Structure 1
Amino acid sequence: MSRKLMTMLLIVVCVLSLVVTSGAKVPLVEESVPFYGDLDGNKLSDDLDDLLAKTSPGEKISVIVVLDRAPLDEVLQDLSLGVAELKGRWEHAIHGFSVDMTPGRIRAMARHPFIQRIDLERTYHALGLGSATTWTGVQAARSTYAVCGDRDGNKLTYSKNDVVIAILDTGIHVGHVDLDAGKVIGWFDAINGNAAAYDDQGHGTHVAGIAAGTGEGNNVDIGVAPGAALVGIKVLNRQGSGTTTQIINGINWMINNRATFNIRIGNMSLGSSGSSDGTDSLSQAVNNAVNNGIIMVVAGGNSGPALRTTGSPAAAANAITVGALHAPGDRGWALAAFSGRGPTADNRTKPNVTAPGTNINAPAHTSSTGYVSKSGTSMAAPFLAGVIGLMLDANNSLTDSGVKDILYAPANVRDLGPSGMDNDFGQGANLSFNSIKQAGGFTTGSFSDNLTIDFGSGTLSGTGATQNHTFSVTATTAPIAITFIHSNWSTSVDFDIRLLNPSGTQVASSTGTNRQETIRFQPSVTGTYTLRVNSYAGSGNYWFNVSRR
């Protein structure tokens, strides 16, 4: 990782504008171009302001109204609204509601003292697999080195002679065009005992498509190793859960049938919450699968960003435990806040590595051609399993230890945290192209995402203290992504971050109360940006990384 010296201005002052004087924090969402903030302070998002100027007086606009209190019936009455008018009403995620109103009513409501913000109702789009495989170099490696997971010489058929990945999950929908034509060469149902492959929940189909989907239904969302064959092992029921017995039954079957189907990789996008020391029975079963010649890739869990959120089987010593990233197509590189963190209960560092795992499009189990977007370390694990499949296609003699040596080599990871392995990013973000290149012993070909990543750190002395860090943005073709970690976070310590553009205008912020703050912002101008770090409460150390062009 490039560790350029970050210009830092230390200001130990109380910045009143950064603190809500009532003592209650107002959550702010990350902003991107078009700017969704409220620069003029009129309680209307700027994109809504723009639309209001273009809308006729009688035309209605869909808006989200954020209140300073719960939207109880008497509050709605005070706002001159009837319950029947509302499209949605929330008391937990936010205090607010959605409604269609004319421009006049919107402007009038913005003047009411209960109103904190009125936003335009927006449409959000999922990140496709094509974006994640582009930014990681997977597509470049498939093209440069002619690898896809097919090793039997026929890309239209599947056999044990291909790279074979076992998916231990809710099943696989073999009626989807990305997963049909005999791609699933083996099947075991530890839940219902059915002889034919199916998926009554959808999670496993999504996972299988990420690892090895052919992209026939959508050539943007091609799986990482589309030529690989699959073995489906259903260990989770239609609610997405399974007992330790059921899951171990699946692992046991996988080990017993390893040679029959030539299973090289096992993917487990499942786990428990809490913190494990890796000695539980399921973790040990994973370890034994590795000892029997199967490379085991396990999701790191979705209980982050707190430390010690690596459960079972993610804590298995022999597992390749995977954390989740936002890829640049999803305004990254940034660590997903939900991604599970180490150390394990016995103080081993986990996860091992990180990979794209947010807003990933992959096959849906309810359709023969449809796709669905999901986020989680459940998505990052099969992404890496697919990368390993391409590594094995490049060099089929690689063992589990050989694969790990390549994956964790400094040249094949982007170290996004403190130097070396850490409990947030593990070894770092997998550099897929480099891993495949080294696996195959190839001497030509290269790939770069052309992003600069800097590391910074600091200390805040107490409530109200502020530090500024500046960095240069030379192009607007990639996002600014900031992962910020409170090194000594506790419930009594709360740091916030804000991003200022070259003119000094705040364009994004993250003001949560957890260990991690994240900004993912698409810049519209180049120049020197400022990351402002403020202590809302308490003192302590922090570190962060900044990704951009």
Structure 2
Amino acid sequence: MNQNMVRKKFVHPTVQKRIAAGSKQTLSVIVYSQGRCDHIRECIQQAGGKIKYELPAIHAIAAEIPAESVDQVAAHHMVQFINDDAKVFKCMDFASLAANASLANEAGYTGKGVGIAILDTGVYPHYDLVRPTNRIIAFKDFINSRPQPYDDDGHGTHVAGIAAGNGFSNERYKGIAPEANIIGVKVLDEEGSGTTSDIIAGIQWVIDNKEKYNIKVVNMSFGSPADNSHRDDPLSRAAAAAVQSGLTVVVSAGNSGPNARTITSPGITPSVITVGAVDDNRTSTYADDFVADFSSRGPTPSGGIKPDVVAPGVNITSLSNTGPTAYVSHSGTSMASPMVAGVAALMYEQDANLSPSSVKNKLMNTCVAIGEPKTAEGSGIININKALGVEDITPSQGSPQPSSPRPRFGRSRRQNPRMGFDSSLLALLFLFL
């Protein structure tokens, strides 16, 4: 097979373009093996490549390879494909409704002991996460290799608070699973961006440490443009491997709506729970809820229907990295995703033997549809109370919510003028992909 045929068959188009442009630099790539990582390690090194990570979850190696040597590597009989090590970005929109986790918490479900891995910009030790007990039980930094928890952007802290803040500084902004443990995995830098290989290395670390920290749920509020099938996309393959290992993986859909086919990777992965964002108009009725304009729409490049579910994602107040008692409001699918991750943690507390597919199916089968296309809302808005089998409440139709309240996941469409909304159920936080 001649060089051009090898390149066309085994090298990603983006990498091909960089080679064709005469680049003299090293290229950041992910090299897939036909077998194990050690089958291709020597060939990469012999081509002058520098290995960044070995990624056994997807049988690949992330490396820096001189542009003129890529064809040499691609021609090796054990190399399956060479992909671009693409940039990945947080899903924050610069621009609540359905979550009543308080009822579930009062029924005894708080996520106690369940580990939620937050792959993001880091986690700041906000009082709502470390007091009265430090629930940031592990921290791994793939950007700066620092040992102690920190967040030089703020996105990851906001996400963690939505999923598991306990309201220590302000009860109003309590998260969905206020006694869950947080495992912070920093894979994005101070600007909220990172490389595909750093993220896959983070996923690999979570897989390898899930038993040690009782990690049941992984949240990824970021995305990269999806121009490949999920079968060929590196992030998607890694996310699928995490699910296969027994982890429930929750990811944001992306903030590139309202156009069709804008779901980002790893949200295109069939087995993960992909979450879009709704605007609840700060009322306690579903009737005026709609999918946020920025929320990415399906289908995926493979024709799959995504998102799977939607959750509140507009003007969500959660933890800030600017101080131990500070809060901030953000919008985006990044905020909707950790809400669902928190609900998954509650479900694992209720039944530790659930499989990832059981969690996903139960969430999707108990959603409330709001009348938008499946490619916009998926199965609808998650209903936490129904998913957990907790007795529902009936708030008064259309009653206003205070600024940035806790999302309420079990609202009823029925009107009951004698039952006002219980203000003690208010409190929450949010962020976007």
1:170 aligned to 2:133? no
1:142 aligned to 2:105? yes
Within-5 A mapping of 1:272-421: 272-279=224-231, 280-329=233-282, 332-409=288-365, 412-417=366-371
1:264 aligned to 2:216? yes
Consecutive unaligned residues in structure 2, runs of 5 or more: 1-93, 402-433
Q: From 161, 165, 170, give the equivalent of 1:213.
A: 165
Contact 2:104-2:110 within 8 A present in 1 as well: no
Identical columns (%): 42
Q: Which residue of 2 aligns with 1:184?
A: 136
C-alpha separation in 1, matches of 2:380 and 2:296: 14
1:196 aligned to 2:148? yes
Cα gap change, 1:446 to 1:352, in 2 (>3 Å): same
> What secondary structure sits across from 1:322 in the alignment?
strand
> What secondary structure sits across from 2:138 in the alignment?
strand
Q: Which residue of 2 aligns with 1:84?
A: none
Q: Which amino acid aligns with 2:244?
A: N
Q: Which amino acid aligns with 2:105?
A: R
C-alpha separation in 2, matches of 1:414 and 1:369: 34
Cα gap change, 1:265 to 1:337, in 2 (>3 Å): same
Q: From 209, 229, 241, give the equivalent of 2:181.
A: 229
Q: From 447, 466, 471, give the equivalent of 2:393.
A: 447
Cα gap change, 1:478 to 1:195, in 2 (>3 Å): closer
Could you tell me how far 1:432 is from its partner in structure 2?
1.2
Could you tell me how far 1:399 is from its partner in structure 2?
1.3
Q: Which residue of 1 aligns with 2:77?
A: none
Could you tell me how far 1:448 is from its partner in structure 2?
3.7
Contact 1:275-1:344 within 8 A present in 2 as well: no
Contact 1:289-1:296 within 8 A present in 2 as well: yes
Could you tell me how far 1:200 is from its partner in structure 2?
0.7
Could you tell me how far 1:366 is from its partner in structure 2?
1.0
Cα gap change, 1:446 to 1:285, in 2 (>3 Å): same
CA deviations on 1:317-363 (whole Å, 9 max, x unpaired) are 11100000112426852211100100001110000000111111111
Could you tell me how far 1:391 is from its partner in structure 2?
1.3
1:425 aligned to 2:388? no
Q: Which has the larger radius of gyration?
A: 1
CA deviations on 1:39-66 (whole Å, 9 max, x unpaired) are xxxxxxxxxxxxxxxxxxxxxxxxxxxx
> What secondary structure sits across from 2:274 in the alignment?
strand
> What secondary structure sits across from 2:171 in the alignment?
coil
Could you tell me how far 1:447 is from its partner in structure 2?
2.7
C-alpha separation in 2, matches of 1:230 and 1:258: 12
Contact 2:226-2:268 within 8 A present in 1 as well: no
> What secondary structure sits across from 1:414 in the alignment?
coil
> What secondary structure sits across from 1:396 in the alignment?
coil
Contact 2:283-2:399 within 8 A present in 1 as well: no
Q: Which amino acid aligns with 2:292?
A: A
Could you tell me how far 1:283 is from its partner in structure 2?
0.6
Q: Name the structure with the higher strand share.
A: 1
Cα gap change, 1:299 to 1:449, in 2 (>3 Å): farther
C-alpha separation in 1, matches of 2:108 and 2:264: 37
Cα gap change, 1:348 to 1:448, in 2 (>3 Å): farther
Could you tell me how far 1:187 is from its partner in structure 2?
1.3
C-alpha separation in 1, matches of 2:304 and 2:338: 23
Q: Which amino acid aligns with 2:319?
A: P
Contact 1:353-1:427 within 8 A present in 2 as well: yes
Consecutive unaligned residues in structure 1, runs of 5 or more: 1-125, 151-161, 452-475, 480-549
C-alpha separation in 2, matches of 1:276 and 1:351: 17
Over aligned residue pairs, what C-alpha RMSD do you find? Answer: 2.0
Q: Which amino acid aligns with 2:100?
A: G
Q: Which amino acid aligns with 1:137?
A: N
C-alpha separation in 1, matches of 2:226 and 2:235: 14
- TM-score norm. by structure 2 comes to 0.67
C-alpha separation in 2, matches of 1:369 and 1:402: 37
CA deviations on 1:364-410 (whole Å, 9 max, x unpaired) are 0011101000100000000010111111122222111111221111x
* Structure with greater contact order relative to length (CA < 8 Å, sep ≥ 6): 2
Could you tell me how far 1:260 is from its partner in structure 2?
0.9
C-alpha separation in 2, matches of 1:273 and 1:429: 25
Q: Name the structure with the higher helix share.
A: 2
CA deviations on 1:181-229 (whole Å, 9 max, x unpaired) are 3211111111111111111110000000000001111110001100100
Could you tell me how far 1:449 is from its partner in structure 2?
4.6
C-alpha separation in 1, matches of 2:289 and 2:272: 24
C-alpha separation in 2, matches of 1:373 and 1:288: 33
C-alpha separation in 1, matches of 2:150 and 2:394: 39
